[in-house]
Structure 1
């Protein structure tokens, strides 16, 4: 079972790494998603400490976190005992996992150029979310998927949820700020992903105050 989960992690990280810089097989020149001017809320620049102040005092779990990320990909709080995770499939992702490597969070961002999206094709969060979903489906790992809309640090995001054949859950967010589409992807068990969802939606920002440098 352990090997099964590890294989799911490696496959997942491989797809996350590759989808942002690989030309899609099929993309129309129009997207069903609204343009970035209507789809993206004002960029948040709240300090991590200020974000935590807005969370109920009853939720002490946020006090046991550390802030990770980069100026290019944004920053987010994660459990304090998670560690940086690197492997050959990781590409230029920022990746952290719990000690078992059963639960993983990945941060990245892409531009039209990096994602190889042609000028005549609309570039937005919907395009990248669809590409990510197609990537996992192509390796035949998805049992069920569904979407919803959420907010990440004040930005309207497409939330893509999946259940893999391994039994692992995937939750990912795609949102546009300026010319970049940011994405955060989490793989793990249902309980851990529920916790990470709260962290992602409430603490992501482009402010790295207090972020770890390991």
Structure 2
């Protein structure tokens, strides 16, 4: 379990480092072109996320996201696999702490104060709807892969979906409470004001529920022994 928690902490930390760090670099390289900044930021995130899933998936499953861990825990009540309640709390704590650590690391690498609260307000109904759509789609992609036996394609599919959702959702697809919390610690391109966090987190949790309902509608109840997301790992029960 210690190895799994370390993998979740490290994976979420590096994911946020990629998101925040590439956002800072994009602002530096393309200061007058927001569209190009988003392209640079999303491209780095796609590749970074895919690599992290490949490398750390065999250790912890590569959740890096409390919504995915919650969905895994819920599905596990029916399949006999998945996270137990105590493990769920550990995963979420590791992910949130990793998200904060990743933002602090990115700030430090670019010679910014370690902690600078973001001033970017993201508190509008259309942005919350974007987060519902982004998170529902992410859960749908991940759990459809596990239900259809396609987890080998998870790095490509999950990275590709997040990259696309950067562009087709109004919120630019945070789709992750731990990453959202981390991004509040950096007043840069990828930041979100702390006051905007509750709305985003609620929207992400709602999206997770909708995503699971869609998976259930497509595949029915999960069978005993259904694989765990995102990547099955040796400690699967």
Does the pair score TM above 0.5?
no
* Structure in which a larger fraction of residues adopt helix: 2
* Structure in which a larger fraction of residues adopt strand: 1
TM-score normalised to structure 1 length: 0.31
